[in-house]
A = this chain, B = another copy of it.
Amino acid sequence: METAVFNATLPSTSPFCSLSYSSSSVKRAIFPLRRSYGGKNGILQNSSIRGGSVGVSRMMTVSASVIPVVDSRTWKFGARVPTIVDVDLGDRSYPIYIGSGLLNESDLLQRHVDGNRVLVVTNTTVAPLYLEKVTEALTSGNSKIDVESVILPDGEKYKNMETLMKVFDKAIESRFDRRCTFVALGGGVIGDMCGFAASAFLRGVKFIQIPTTLMSQVDSSVGGKTGINHPLGKNLLGAFYQPQCVLVDTDTLNTLPDRELSSGISEVVKYGLIRDPEFFEWQEKNMQAMLSRDPSALAYAIKRSCENKAEVVSLDEKESGLRATLNLGHTFGHAIENGIGYGQWLHGEAVSAGMIMANDMAYRHGWIDDTIVKRSFDILKQANLPTSPPDVMTIEMFKATMAVDKKVADGLLRLILLKGSLGNCVFTGDYDRKILDETLNFFCER
């Protein structure tokens, strides 16, 4: 429950050490997105975009500041009480159920099943743990439901077209028709592949997500991004496709390896950094509780993460601008994952190092002060996450992957960088290329 001590082993040339750097050196004016509460679900209604309308201006900059979604003093709700976060997307809206033991609540699942036929898409790791339980939940008290399953090999390296075809083959061989439901049971890879399969099978069938990793619970299960990798890049093929519901049973985290837990925490930290300073402060106080898998702490972290993401996605489903801010550290992180090979580092590990790099860049621009740099570093370190890229990463490896990043528009790479006080960031192509080079030089040996 305590804030970690500043790590003194950083290289002396690191800006992380320049703690005397004055906050008055934030040289550029900040034009935050001002939020006013109102309307359905208290979703923010007004936003101002600097530099042009969303998705139009080449040099568009989106900034966001935040009023906390929930008073952080109320976080100690019982983990056994299911909580619902609503993702508000008009006729594609859906609920996220969060709680302990939800896989025993068969009604929760069954109310979202379309038709009588269900295809559970899972992997070799998760199937032995939860496939029987999920099948039971889907069929309990309802003899009409026919459940098929397809068990894919586990791992990011199988997130490709070849594996996706196995899902299609199973559905087609089983003669599934349009009135059926796909269920994603597993982590982010399973969720992304099952969702993409559901979007494309017969041009779209219903699907439900049961994420079993913290990463997928707080990130990939919210917002409808689905897809697969291509040999030349991550998530290059896919669809925006929303599930009928997401069911997060926090009990599934009890079987999650420590490294995967930390990986998920990386995304939790991100929400605090980009838009929710109170949540970040809560994390600073409760990191140890999360790491020791305190169910209440985890349930709260998941809920608040989902609320943050749901708000952003509601405002910008197709990632015209605001939604891109959820990718703090991801451009550097994807370059790491791609450079060393998918699956070598977990996604959250790569994002952790990526956030440190992005913060370094922001600091060199004078956009954030040293306390934000230090607090980010400390919290990620405490979560046992990497704070620099692996040694094998070269400047060229970063640049090669960044050139095909999805956030490149008309040849210009746009980045998400913190700017201003904690909880503010920009999505912009208007940064200093020399400073990007400085950051890459600083973190890479060559």
- Interface residues of A, Cβ cutoff 8 Å to B: 115-116, 161, 165, 168-169, 172-173, 175, 177-179, 196, 199-204, 225-227, 230, 232-233, 235-240, 318, 403-404, 406, 408-411
Contacts and interface: CB of A to CB of B under 8 A. Distances in A.
A66 to B, nearest CB: 26
Contacts of A408: 175, 177-178
A247 B177 CA distance: 34
Given A200-B237, A203-B238, A204-B318, A179 B410 contact: yes
Nearest to A197: B237
Contacts of A175: 403-404, 408
Contacts of A199: 239
Nearest to A171: B236
5 contacts: A161-B165, A172-B232, A177-B408, A178-B406, A203-B226
B410 A177 contact: yes
Contacts of A226: 203
Nearest to A412: B177
A409 B179 contact: yes
B115 A203 contact: no
Given A172-B232, A409-B177, A410-B115, A203 B239 contact: yes
Nearest to A406: B202
Contact of A200 (B232, B233, B239, B409): B239
A406 B177 contact: yes
Contacts of A410: 115-116, 177, 179
* Highest count of chain B CB atoms <10 Å: which of A177, A179, A404: A177
Contacts of A179: 409-410
B409 A232 contact: no
Contacts of A403: 175
A446 to B, nearest CB: 24
A231 to B, nearest CB: 9
A172 B404 contact: yes
Given A172-B404, A410-B115, A203 B177 contact: no
A412 B232 CA distance: 43
A172 B236 contact: yes
A72 B441 CA distance: 72
A236 B202 contact: yes
A173 B232 CA distance: 8
Given A165-B161, A172-B233, A172-B404, A177 B225 contact: no
Nearest to A405: B177
Contacts of A235: 203
Contacts of A233: 172
A168 B204 contact: no
Given A175-B403, A177-B404, A200-B238, 10 more contacts: A115-B409, A161-B161, A172-B236, A175-B408, A178-B406, A200-B200, A200-B227, A201-B237, A202-B406, A203-B238
A353 B26 CA distance: 74
A404 B225 CA distance: 29
Closest 6 CB pairs of A and B: A177-B408, A203-B238, A179-B409, A172-B232, A200-B237, A202-B406
Contacts of A230: 168-169, 172
A230 B408 CA distance: 33
B225 A203 contact: yes
Contacts of A404: 172, 175, 177
A172 B228 CA distance: 14
A426 B177 CA distance: 20
A232 B168 CA distance: 10
A413 to B, nearest CB: 9
A115 B201 CA distance: 30
A406 B240 CA distance: 22
Nearest to A224: B203
* Highest count of chain B CB atoms <10 Å: which of A161, A203, A233, A239: A203
Nearest to A233: B172
A415 to B, nearest CB: 14
